[in-house]
């Protein structure tokens, strides 16, 4: 069964304290892996798409990387405004082709 597991469930950082969020996945062929940010009371906001092992994407203080079994979202020198829930999602190959499976998310708290 296709599965996405994110860790940790919650992460508390001091402003400027860099860290990484993990997303491990089990799918029968990966079409794409997505990262989203979700603020309280809002819908998820798209951040990155990764397609193949070794690929990296960057946006401001965020960098996403992908291996054959997991993805990491690295946060460099975070600021309080980076506080949010970060969701990982995978799109398996085959089947009807568009069944994106979301992980439970990592809640990030950045303290000033």
Interaction site with other proteins (CB under 8 A): 32, 34, 36, 41-49, 87, 89, 96-105
CB 70 within 8 Å of CB 54: no
Question: Where are the extended beta strands (E) located within the chain?
Answer: 3-7, 10-14, 19-26, 30-38, 45-50, 56-59, 62-66, 70-75, 84-92, 101-102, 106-111
CB of 18 to other proteins, least distance (A): 25
Give the nearer residue to other proteins in terms of CB position, either 72 or 102.
Answer: 102
CB of 57 to other proteins, least distance (A): 11
Residue whose token pair is 């499976």: 101
CB of 72 to other proteins, least distance (A): 18
Give the nearer residue to other proteins in terms of CB position, either 17 or 55.
Answer: 55
d(CA 102, CA 93): 15
CB of 102 to other proteins, least distance (A): 4
Give the nearer residue to other proteins in terms of CB position, either 32 or 76.
Answer: 32
């Amino acid at each position: 069964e296709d599965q996405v597991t994110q860790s940790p469930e919650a992460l508390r950082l001091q402003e400027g304290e860099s860290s990484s969020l993990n997303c491990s996945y089990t799918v029968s062929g990966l079409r794409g892996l997505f990262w989203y940010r979700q603020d309280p009371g809002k819908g998820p906001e798209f951040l990155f798409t990764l397609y193949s092992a070794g690929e990296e994407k960057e946006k401001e203080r965020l960098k996403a990387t992908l291996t054959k079994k997991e993805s990491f979202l690295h946060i460099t020198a975070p600021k309080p405004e980076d506080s949010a829930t970060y969701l990982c999602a995978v799109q398996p190959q085959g089947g009807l082709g568009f069944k994106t499976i979301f992980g439970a998310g990592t809640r990030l708290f950045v303290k000033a």
